[in-house]
């Protein structure tokens, strides 16, 4: 392994903090398929198999954490909340916190297209990293890192994960046994630069609005405002 690569991986391990027994696992976790395709003579493996394994490790650990934090929640609400956590955006943010993008091995085309900052590549690399730790020293080490990273976020509340529609649906179904309703109430501006205003209604008790440059963004903003109200009415996320 080139000396520069070793230095980059060592710096990453200090940030984690976790020291690999087999540094080649970490190297593979941060190797994108595009690099392997462009450098066949290096006989490298890409990180896709590790990503597959890391996804399973992460889901198991997050499921366990959620069951501990929300002992009264049933399968449906737990699944929805897990989906809000184990998705591209929060995982990419985790990857950015460790500067995984700087350590990725990318093909020239992927590099030129901004691959080091692509949320999908970063999220995949983070999952592959978890699998590398799992294979290096076992489940407990991977689980310990996941607990350290995600437990404070779960403790801070639902807004951490920024998938407000999923979160408000989970709260609404649990507290009111109803699904939120979204209604487009206004759109304005020229066709190339429209702004949408959408209202969310929850159990005929809560109505808030949100605006955005597309309907999905407006729905997210409306859901975010609804969560703020729900947290004052239902401090524990339930009646």
**CA dist., res. 124 & res. 119, Å (int):** 8
Q: Which of 27, 46, 127, 163 is catalytic?
A: 127
Of the candidates 96, 91, 66, 94, the residue with the CA atom closest to the CA atom of residue 78: 66
Between 80 and 46, the more confident residue is: 46
pLDDT at position 116 is: 92
For domain 3-161, which CATH number applies: 3.30.390.30, 3.90.1150.10, 1.20.1530.20, 1.10.1520.10?
1.10.1520.10
* 72 part of the active site: no
CA 39, CA 77: separation in Å to the nearest integer? 45
Asked if pLDDT for residue 117 goes beyond 60, the answer is yes
Q: Closest Cα partner for 106 from 124, 93, 90, 94?
A: 124
CATH architecture entry for 164-233: 2-Layer Sandwich (3.30)
Q: Report the interhelical angle of 75-85 vs 139-156 (nearest 10°).
A: 100
pLDDT digits (tens, 9 = 90+) for 129-174: 999 999 999 999 999 999 999 887 775 544 444 578 877 887 888 8
The catalytically annotated residue of 55, 110, 163, 224 is: 55
Mean pLDDT of 97-126: 93
Instruction: Kindly report whether the peptide bond that precedes residue 239 is cis, defined as omega within 30 degrees of 0.
Output: no
Share of the chain above pLDDT 70, in %: 92
Q: What is the mean pLDDT of residues 221-233?
A: 85
The pLDDT value given to residue 118: 92
To the nearest whole number, what is the mean pLDDT of the chain?
88
Fold: same for 3-161 and 164-233:
no
Segment 8-27, tens digit of pLDDT:
899 999 998 899 999 999 99
Q: E strand or H helix at 200, and its extent? A: strand 195-202
Burial class (CB in 10 A: 0-12, 13-18, 19+), 72: exposed
Q: What is the mean pLDDT of residues 192-204?
A: 91
DSSP 177: S
Is the Cβ–Cβ distance between 65 and 58 less than 8 Å?
no
Please write down the long-range contacts of 106-112, taking CB distance under 8 Å and 24 or more positions apart.
106/32, 106/34, 106/35, 107/32, 107/34, 107/35, 107/37, 107/38, 108/38, 109/34, 110/32, 110/34, 110/35
* Residue 102 falls in the annotated catalytic set: no
Q: How far is CA 224 from CA 154, 160, 185, 215, in A?
A: 17, 11, 17, 14
Strand partners, 201: 181, 207
Q: What is the mean pLDDT of residues 108-133?
A: 94
C-alpha distances (whole Å) from 157 to each of 66, 84, 124 are 12, 12, 25
Structure tokens at 164: 């407000």
pTM of the model: 0.69
Instruction: List the chain domain ranges.
Output: 3-161, 164-233
Whether the pLDDT of residue 235 is over 60: the answer is: no
Say yes or no to pLDDT of 190 above 60: yes
pLDDT of residue 70: 82
């Amino acid at each position: 392994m080139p000396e520069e690569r070793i230095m980059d991986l060592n710096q990453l391990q200090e940030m984690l903090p976790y020291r690999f027994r087999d540094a080649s696992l970490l190297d593979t976790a941060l190797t994108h398929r595009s690099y392997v395709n462009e450098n066949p003579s290096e006989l490298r493996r890409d990180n896709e198999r590790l990503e597959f394994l890391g996804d399973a490790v992460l889901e198991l650990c997050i499921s366990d954490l959620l069951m501990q934090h929300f002992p009264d929640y049933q399968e449906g609400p737990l699944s929805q909340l897990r989906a809000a956590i184990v998705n591209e955006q929060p995982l990419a943010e985790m990857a950015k916190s460790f500067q995984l993008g700087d350590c990725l091995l990318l093909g020239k085309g992927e590099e030129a297209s901004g691959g080091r900052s692509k949320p999908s590549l970063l999220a995949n690399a983070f999952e592959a990293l978890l699998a590398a730790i799992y294979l290096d020293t076992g489940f407990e080490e991977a689980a310990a890192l996941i607990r350290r990273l995600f437990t404070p976020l779960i403790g801070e509340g639902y807004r951490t994960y920024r998938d407000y529609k999923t979160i408000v649906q989970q709260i609404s179904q649990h507290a009111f046994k109803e699904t939120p309703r979204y209604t487009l109430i206004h759109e304005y501006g020229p066709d190339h630069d429209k702004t949408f205003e959408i209202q969310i209604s929850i159990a005929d008790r809560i109505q808030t609005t949100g605006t955005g440059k597309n309907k999905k963004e407006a729905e997210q903003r409306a859901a975010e405002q609804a969560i703020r109200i729900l947290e004052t009415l239902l401090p524990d996320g339930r009646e």
